[in-house]
Amino acid sequence: NAGVTQTPKFQVLKTGQSMTLQCAQDMNHEYMSWYRQDPGMGLRLIHYSVGAGITDQGEVPNGYNVSRSTTEDFPLRLLSAAPSQTSVYFCASRALASGANVLTFGAGSRLTVL
Amino acid sequence: SQQGEEDPQALSIQEGENATMNCSYKTSINNLQWYRQNSGRGLVHLILIRSNEREKHSGRLRVTLDTSKKSSSLLITASRAADTASYFCATVLSGGYNKLIFGAGTRLAVHP
């Protein structure tokens, strides 16, 4: 099993550019989420989804859009990148039936906004 | 503001010693989890303790939970160089089953 796959692993953007971070999982997990990790801040929840067509905001949703058209994919879109969005982004998923909220994480995408 | 905060921020020990990390949280929880992150990698789940449990073991890991003090501790016994990583506690708020909130983490360095 590939688990949770994130692409790209590294990306450099200029302020104002747009891009999409891709996340795919092959475990048939209903729940998917995006976190950002900044030094000294731990992980902060950006957006999450409990199934296709359903998304909701986390702790720090501003500046990010998500959609969930399939169970497998949960892309994160930055419409107009800002230097404050320089971070490492993690996608994570779980099966809703597990009941315990234990997440499986991807390897991360490191984004630098100049 | 963050729900969970780990203490200490960094810990340096020798192989064979025990490592203890603490986590405090602010509001009622459903469960508390500990994750490990090796440098440059994603997080890996280590252990989960539910709000009605006080202690749990998994191999060399021992987790305690004190809901009256809103705190948890992770003990790694007989540490190895391979235990060098960052460790994060994460809480599921009561009624907030879709949100796992992480602390800032403890960086553990185990020296051979």
Size of interface A-B (CB pairs under 8 A): 57
Query: Which one of B41, B45, B103 has the shortest CB-CB distance to A42?
Result: B103
A43/B43 Cβ within 8 A: yes
pLDDT in the model for residue B96: 63
- Longest Cα pair distance anywhere in chain A, in angstroms? 41
Question: B42 and A107 in contact by Cβ < 8 A?
Answer: yes
How many angstroms separate the CA atoms of A13 and B5, rounded?
32
Test B45 with A102 for CB contact under 8 angstroms: yes
Report chain A's mean pLDDT, rounded to a whole number: 94
Q: What is the pLDDT of residues A65-97, one digit of tens each?
A: 999 999 999 999 999 999 999 999 999 999 887
Residue of A nearest to B87 (CA): A42
Distance CA B7, CA B14 (A): 19
Q: Which of A35-39, A93-97, A99-103 has the highest mean pLDDT?
A: A35-39
Each residue's pLDDT tens digit, B61-80: 999 999 999 999 999 999 99
- Residues B98 and A72: their CA atoms lie apart, in Å, by 18
- The residue assigned the tokens 């998994």 is B58
Looking at residue A99, its pLDDT comes to 67
Contact assignment for A43 to B44 by CB distance below 8 Å: no
Distance (Å, rounded) from C-alpha A101 to C-alpha B65? 18
Say which of A31, A45, A101 has its CB closest to residue B31: A101
Looking at chain A, the whole-number percentage of residues with pLDDT higher than 90 is: 86
The fraction of chain B above a pLDDT of 90, given in percent, is 73
Three-state DSSP class for residue B11? strand
Average the pLDDT over B35-43 and give the result.
93
Residues B28-50: what's their mean pLDDT?
Answer: 93
Q: Residue A98 phi/psi, 5° resolution?
A: -65, -30
User: Given an 8 Å threshold on Cβ–Cβ distance, is B41 in contact with A90?
Assistant: no
Cα–Cα distance for residue pair B37/B105, rounded to 1 Å: 9
CB of B44 within 8 Å of any CB in chain A?
Answer: yes
- Check whether B28 has a pLDDT greater than 90: no
